[in-house]
Structure 1
Amino acid sequence: MRLSPLLLATAALLVGCGSRGDAESAAAPAPAAGASVQAPITGPQRGAAKPFDATPVAKFAAPWAMTFLPDGRMLVTEKAGQMLLVSADGKTRRTVTTIAAVDSAGQGGLMDVVLHPGFPQNRLVYFSYSTAGQGGKGVVLARGRLAGKPGAETLDGIETIFRASPLVEGNGHYSGRIAFAPDGKLFFTNGERQQFDPAQDPRVTLGKVLRLNDDGTPAADNPLSAKGFHPAVWSYGHRNLLGIAFDAKGRLWEQEMGPKGGDEVNLILPGRNYGYPIVSNGDHYDGRVIPDHSTQPEFEAPKVSWNPVISPAGLMFYSGALFPAWQGSAFIGGLSSKALVRIAFDGDTAREAERFDMGARIREVEQGPDGALWVLEDGESGGRLLRLMPKPG
């Protein structure tokens, strides 16, 4: 494959850089001398006093994501390929489908699960998973219909509607997060699979935010299709995108894991280049420096970045009444940081406002129908589902 001058320059920058390790599975090592470093967060943000009580509700085998049904029940995905329907109190569960094609090695597995905006009428459930095929592995987007009598539902009519391209070897950086826009378009994240260059390659979906119709076809008015990009691409220059969500104003936000440092929260704008691997607020795992975003302002810079990392997982915006002071804030789970992180916003700017020590790797955070916060621990931390309610008084 012939590389553009930009990709050749990127490849030259990355000679000798491996893809060993990632904050997905462990905290990144200390930055090398001369690396770009932000001061650690201190003061009231880190280890903030918890205004909530955390009650264990259920326990799962390596859970990855969850979503609430209109009646308060939950769909929970497990890494190995099971999707479970769980009662609102967590006391009963049943498997609605097992995806035999899931390749769960490394960071792979059955991943995100999201309801179609018209779920009460069409019963459609969207989900993502990693799978193996000719030439390697990749993440796919699929959907099915939750059918059957209450208490006996199954996910029927499952169909794959989009596949990341190309397939590559390895078990990392699949991403696979899903979000529906207010207008019904579907956004889907594809990680760069620890291959660096694909994030800047216009012809592939890796390292990109994608915008699709609800049937998985590329949206016709995507901003880069007339410029030689894959027709599904909405933004590019991303690494491992593990959270995506719309705020109350309809703006799209995303979080991704940086390399050795440089975890990010980004405001996603159509057609923009977010710079990876040419720029990053972190550095390579072998200690080689990557230029910071500030050195090349033609790339979109993150609104929040972390060094040391938090290893972000999941992203949601809070709108409930139980925690009125948090309305409009975003929440991110922390894996290596073992934290729940609150992000506050002022227009298009953002900052970390609070960090709550959870004592476990947090894989997912969602808002329940009653306004409670619900978090899933990573499988390495026990896989519990916790309900967070305001402390009495």
Structure 2
Amino acid sequence: MTSEIITETVVDGLGIIWGMTFLPNGDMLLTEKTGKLYRLSGDNLQEVKGVPEVYVRGQGGLLDVALHPDYENNGWIYISYAKPALEGEGGNTAIVRAKLQNDELVEQEELFKAMPNSTEGRHFGSRITFDEDGYLYFSVGERGKMENAQNLKNDCGKIHRLHDDGRVPDDNPFTQEDGEKSSIFAYGNRNPQGLIWHPELKEIWAHEHGPKGGDELNVIKAGANYGWPVISYGIDYDGSIITEDTTKVGMEQPLHYWTPSIAPCGMALVTSDIYPGWKNSLLVGSLSFRYLERLQTDGRAVVGQEKLLEGIGRVRNVKQGPDGYIYISVESPGRILKLVPKSEN
């Protein structure tokens, strides 16, 4: 299962490039965690103006960016970021949409703001994806407070689902009648930083950070409970036991889990024929061990694992471009790399 690839540098000298997406003309939009949004056109890197004020604290900042599935007709760009509290201290994850005009964000609309606010610098999430019906999904971490993940009366530790304009779908699994947050689609999540639509299986897939061990890959189902912190395959960072249980009735089991923790970030499903033997593989970045992992899948089963580009650096994101090539963002220094099969060189 050995893959031979090399990397080509697309752009370098940046900070932490958290999110990236491709415009129809091949340009890339890149989010820098410190609060800058860039447009990369060929060799030209241009900062985009009009980014909302960002709460830069710990893991929080400017996070993911994604295009509406019908972008070519409506022009909507979706951004997740840590938004400062309007009153008091702290902040939490928010979702806005806007349009791009002359390298400036215009017609901005806030679709969602997670509550409660917190001064914690941990676990904001947040990735964005759409399904084939145009529903918007995004993740919010539990902000470092384990109990948030099981509490349906707050937004943290959840996968949320909205219409593309921010309205709550009528068939979402929870309602506001008992004080539950009706945008919640699934819960019991710790800090999901990988979220994709699987076009063949017609499912939302996510991965999330465990504590010390127990990172998980899950199929996200409506109303499902993913167990954190009631069940886990990990322990706390100081070695103490969070829970003795790895299974419980009514709680989902992961398709795959990592122990020790690789600190997964970013995820892409390979649909391209460019890379021999890679089709239907999942590519997942590792922050802790500084490589790209390839998970060979057969339906919902992970049937093989391969470490790629070991020592390349903290891999923050991975995307398949419209040209079929894989692009990754790597930290320290921040750069975008294109993966090329050795056979092409």
Task: Decide: shared fold, TM above 0.5.
Answer: yes
What is the alpha-carbon root mean square deviation over aligned residues?
Answer: 1.7
User: Contact conserved, 2:50 with 2:105, CA < 8 A, in 1?
Assistant: no
What do the CA deviations read for 1:111-162 (whole angstroms, capped 9, x no partner)? 00000011101111000111221342101000111124xxxx3221222110
Higher mean C-alpha deviation, range 55-64 or range 286-295: 286-295
Return the offset for 1:299: 1.1
For the pair 1:264 / 2:216, whether they are aligned, the reply is: yes
Q: Which of 15, 18, 24 is residue 70 of structure 1 equivalent to?
A: 24
The residue aligned with 2:91 is 137
- The DSSP-based 3-state class of the residue aligned with 2:317 is strand
Q: Which of 172, 191, 199 is residue 141 of structure 2 equivalent to?
A: 191
AA aligned opposite 1:386: L
Higher mean C-alpha deviation, range 200-209 or range 99-108: 99-108
From the superposition, tell whether residues 260 and 351 of structure 1 become closer, same or farther in structure 2 (CA, over 3 Å).
farther
Identity %: 37
Return the offset for 1:351: 4.8
AA aligned opposite 1:68: F
Return the offset for 1:217: 2.2
Distance in 2 of aligned mates of 1:104 and 1:240: 17
The residue aligned with 1:241 is 192
User: Contact conserved, 1:362 with 1:375, CA < 8 A, in 2?
Assistant: yes
User: Contact conserved, 2:192 with 2:209, CA < 8 A, in 1?
Assistant: yes
Distance in 2 of aligned mates of 1:286 and 1:61: 30
Q: Which of 162, 172, 187 is residue 222 of structure 1 equivalent to?
A: 172
- The DSSP-based 3-state class of the residue aligned with 1:267 is strand
Return the offset for 1:269: 1.0
Higher mean C-alpha deviation, range 360-369 or range 153-162: 153-162
Unaligned runs of 5+ in 2: none
- The DSSP-based 3-state class of the residue aligned with 1:392 is helix
What do the CA deviations read for 1:213-245 (whole angstroms, capped 9, x no partner)? 111222211012277431011110000010100
Distance in 2 of aligned mates of 1:77 and 1:196: 28
Distance in 2 of aligned mates of 1:293 and 1:73: 47
From the superposition, tell whether residues 322 and 212 of structure 1 become closer, same or farther in structure 2 (CA, over 3 Å).
same
For the pair 1:285 / 2:258, whether they are aligned, the reply is: no
What do the CA deviations read for 1:160-197 (whole angstroms, capped 9, x no partner)? 11001111221110002110111000001111000111
Return the offset for 1:301: 1.1
Distance in 2 of aligned mates of 1:392 and 1:166: 51
User: Contact conserved, 2:312 with 2:330, CA < 8 A, in 1?
Assistant: no
Larger radius of gyration: 1
Distance in 2 of aligned mates of 1:339 and 1:218: 38
The residue aligned with 1:30 is none
Q: Which of 68, 73, 82 is residue 36 of structure 2 equivalent to?
A: 82
The residue aligned with 1:389 is 340
**Residue pairs, 1:26-41, within 5 angstroms:** none
From the superposition, tell whether residues 69 and 172 of structure 1 become closer, same or farther in structure 2 (CA, over 3 Å).
same
Distance in 1 of aligned mates of 2:34 and 2:70: 28
